[in-house]
Each structure stands twice: as C-alpha cells, then as structure tokens.
C-alpha cells in the first residue's frame, strides 16, 4: 500500500467504493487522513463499513464544510456530459477534486529513495487502444530481464494498493483518459502515448477534449522521456510540441505504418520487422512475425511502444527480444483460445470500439466475425471498406438487427453468443479464423468485456468438446 501524504488529520471525501475507491480509503487511512466514504450502491457502502470506514451522504447540506478534498472514482463524470451532483456540490463549496492517480503521484516518493542506489522509475501508458497490451508486455520484458516491477492503474491493482517500490524497481501504469483528465499530480519518469481514435466522446465533449485529457500526462507531467505513437495527427502534433528539435532524444517516435527517418530516436515496424534508429544509425532489429502473442500490425505498434519504454529503462535490444518472444498475450486481446480442424478461434472481446475492431480484423484472414453490442458514439461508418478479410459476420446484442444492417459484409443476426458461435463453427472451413471483435461495448448483455469474452470461450470450448 502507498500511504497518502498531505492530509494527516484531515477529512477526505471518497466518492465511489469500487476497487479503486476502497483502495483509496485504505491508503488515506494509512496516511493519517479520515476518509468519509459514499456510494449510491448500499452493498458498496456495506462493504466499506465492514472495513470500519464511515459512510456519509455527501449530498446532505453542509457535507463539505469540513472536507479538505474530494476523491472521485474513474467512472464518475466530473464535467461532461454533466457533473455528478456530488462533484458539483464539492465544486460549489470550493473543495478541490482529485482521483487516486493524483494521490499516488504526490505520495509514492519517500525519503527512503535517497538511500537507493537506483531510484524507482514510473512508466505511465495512455492512448485509445493497446494500453493494456503495452503495459503487460513491458512488465513481461522487465521480468524476463530480472528487473522488479509492478503493474497497476487501469489494469491489475489499484495504484495505491501496490507495494512501495524499492531500489531500482519499476512501476508500470495503464492510465485511461478518465484518470489523466482529473489527476492533480502527474509526474511519470516515462510517459507513453500509443494512438488516438474516437472513444468516450460523450465523457470528453468530443475528440478535442478526449485528446486534451490524454495530453495532460505529458504537458502536466513533464516526463524525462516521452514515447509517442505518431501514426495519427494528434500523436505527431504531441511529439512536435514536446521536442526541442530534430535531435532531441527525450522524445521517441513510434510508428507501425512507415519508416521513420531523421537524426532523432525512432522505433518503427515494416513488414513485421521492428527497427530502432538513433542519430541516423540502426541500434536494434527484431523479427516480430513469428510471435503468436503479438499478431497483427496493431500489436506490432504495441511492441514498438514497449520496446522504446524498455530502452529508456536501460535494457539492451537482445534482452527485450527475449521478452517479446516469450510473451503469452493478454486474455480477451487477440487471444487464441483453440485450433481445431484447421480453424483458429480468437477472443478479442476488448475490441470495444470500431478502431480496435478494425485492427483485429486486419490481423487475420478468412474471418468468421462475431460482432455487435452497445454501439458507441460515432456509429459504425468507419467499418465500411475495412472488412475485406471477413467472410461473414455473426451479430450479437439486443440491437443485433440494426447493427447488422450497417455492415458492408454478409451478416447473420444471432442475438446471443451461443447462437453466433454455433453458426460460425458450422460454417467455418479449414483456413478460417473465428474472431470475436465486437466493435461495441458489452453492457447491453454483459457486465463487462471480460464476461463477454469468457462467454465466447465457454461457447467455443463446449461446442468443440474441449471443456
């Protein structure tokens, strides 16, 4: 646990008592603060009270009279589309609003660090797609190289729930736009921007607000090194803003679509080969084509980002290559779950938006595509012309018929996962790949994308007789 600093003896309100909210309450208590907790869900309040925390309705008159700050869980809107009423009440009372990420960065460093031979390093990764794979891949590379590391943030443990980092340790954080937008302190040693595509637009009032939320990690944080994916305009713009000139190697540009030239520090992939160039000379090269845990161009981009971050931490190219080669992949992200009778079955339930689904479809050929769910803002127009690898789509979700009508491939309305899997397996021929890449959120039928992916795995293994 990371005890929170700066609030000794003060009342700190905590709104939202899920994983991060409870971890925040514990860390505040460990640091000497008095957490005042609230959640609209009675069961969540009961869990907090069972741990000894006081729950107080933060909408009552005068609730913020003695409160030093309000800590908000990531899923609770603080500005768009409209602020949560508790957040608005805090703002009206002049009470600062922060989140667990802000508390982490203000609290993680201790006087003990002065006695370390090597100060701990914090790597923070943000972007639209590939964050989870990039952080998991980086941690795997570090582990294989014998470097102690912890994974936290939007994946794994809450940031305040990790162990205090020791001499030479690395903390790898996945940070969403919800987290970077609100955190009052953002000071990573290395910051990574993977890419940007439309997502969470209602929460950020459009693409400009969405990009601004991501940009805060770099503009507010002032990292020693910045790894920037430059395949979109926003990434290229961000790299340009951070760089002092063409030879400034504090910025490492990353691309999965083209060779990057110039005297700066560049990492890119062409035809499945990762290359690192520095000061105009090649410093490393890795063949990614045979790595099963990293299929497709989008995963090659993730490999570039993880490679670049690992290089900033002092790892040699051959150490990184060893880690890449043994990377098993993450559940629900281009995860091969079975191969039978010449047909491969891939679970990419994390493909919850159109862009991530397009990237999943580009990684395979002869695809039997299971898709559908709760459409996100922006619709499905971007899918048109991007489904050339798809033989047929099998559409799930409560609005499956409407979803299917927007696709430019043959589509069968299945509604449920069980029916979609049954139909796809029946139709599949040797050489085909059955891919779950929904291009939509899961909340119309499932609690989360993990549950949806688990349902796909269960349906496939049962139908194939593997369960």
Q: Binding site for ATP: what residues are annotated?
A: 127-133
> Could you tell me whether strands 34-38 and 54-55 are parallel, antiparallel, or unpaired per DSSP bridges?
parallel
The label of the residue with tokens 């922060």 reads: 98
Whether 184 contacts 129, CB under 8 Å: no
How distant, in Å, are the alpha carbons of 2, 181, 182, 292, 331 from that of 78?
25, 10, 8, 41, 31
User: Please, what is the angle between helix 207-219 and helix 233-242, to 10°?
Assistant: 30
Token readout for 316 is 């040699």
| Burial (CB count within 10 angstroms: exposed 0-12, middle 13-18, buried 19+), residue 121 | buried
Consecutive H or E run containing 424? helix 417-427
Residues annotated within the binding site are 127-133
> Residue 310: CB partners within 8 Å, gap ≥ 6?
138, 141, 142, 145, 319, 320, 323
Phi, psi of 189 (to 5 degrees): -75, -40
């Amino acid at each position: 646990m990371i005890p929170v600093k700066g609030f000794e003896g003060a009342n700190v309100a905590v709104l939202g008592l899920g994983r991060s909210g409870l971890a925040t309450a514990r860390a505040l208590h460990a640091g000497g603060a008095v957490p005042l907790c609230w959640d609209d869900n009675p069961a969540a309040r009961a869990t907090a009270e069972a741990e000894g925390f006081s729950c107080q309705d933060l909408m009552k008159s005068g609730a913020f009279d003695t409160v030093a700050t309000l800590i908000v869980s990531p899923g609770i809107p603080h500005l768009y589309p409209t602020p949560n009423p508790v957040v608005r009440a805090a703002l009206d009372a002049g009470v600062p609003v922060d989140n667990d990420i802000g508390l982490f960065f203000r609290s993680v460093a201790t006087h003990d660090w002065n006695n370390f031979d090597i100060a701990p390093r914090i790597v923070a990764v943000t972007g639209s797609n590939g964050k989870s794979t990039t952080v998991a891949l980086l941690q795997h590379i570090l582990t294989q190289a014998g470097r102690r590391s912890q994974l936290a943030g939007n994946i794994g443990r809450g940031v305040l729930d990790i162990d205090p980092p020791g001499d030479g340790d690395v903390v790898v954080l996945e940070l969403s736009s919800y987290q970077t937008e609100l955190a009052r302190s953002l000071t990573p040693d290395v910051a990574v921007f993977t890419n940007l595509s439309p997502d969470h637009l209602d929460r950020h009032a459009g693409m400009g607000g969405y990009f601004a939320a991501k940009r805060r990690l770099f503009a507010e944080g002032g990292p020693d090194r910045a790894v920037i994916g430059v395949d979109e305009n926003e990434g290229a713009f961000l790299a340009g803003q951070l760089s002092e000139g063409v030879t400034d190697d504090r910025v490492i540009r990353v691309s999965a679509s083209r060779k990057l030239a110039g005297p700066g520090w560049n990492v890119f992939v062409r035809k499945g080969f990762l290359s690192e160039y520095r000061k105009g000379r090649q410093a490393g090269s890795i063949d990614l084509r045979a790595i099963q845990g990293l299929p497709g161009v989008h995963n090659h981009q993730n490999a570039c980002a993880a490679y670049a971050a690992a290089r900033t931490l002092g790892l040699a190219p051959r150490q990184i290559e060893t880690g890449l080669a043994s990377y098993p992949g993450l559940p629900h992200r281009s995860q091969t779950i079975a191969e039978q009778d010449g047909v491969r079955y891939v679970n990419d339930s994390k493909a919850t938006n159109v862009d991530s689904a397009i990237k999943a479809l580009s990684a395979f050929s002869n695809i039997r595509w299971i898709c559908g769910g709760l459409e996100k803002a922006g619709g499905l127009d971007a899918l048109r012309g991007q489904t050339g690898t798809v033989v047929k789509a099998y559409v799930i979700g409560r609005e499956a018929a409407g979803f299917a009508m927007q696709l430019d491939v043959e589509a069968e309305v299945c509604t449920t996962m069980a029916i979609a899997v049954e139909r796809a397996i029946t139709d599949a021929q040797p050489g085909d790949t059955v891919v779950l890449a929904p291009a939509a959120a899961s909340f119309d039928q499932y609690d989360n994308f993990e549950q949806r992916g688990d349902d796909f795995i269960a349906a496939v293994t049962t139908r194939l007789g593997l369960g």
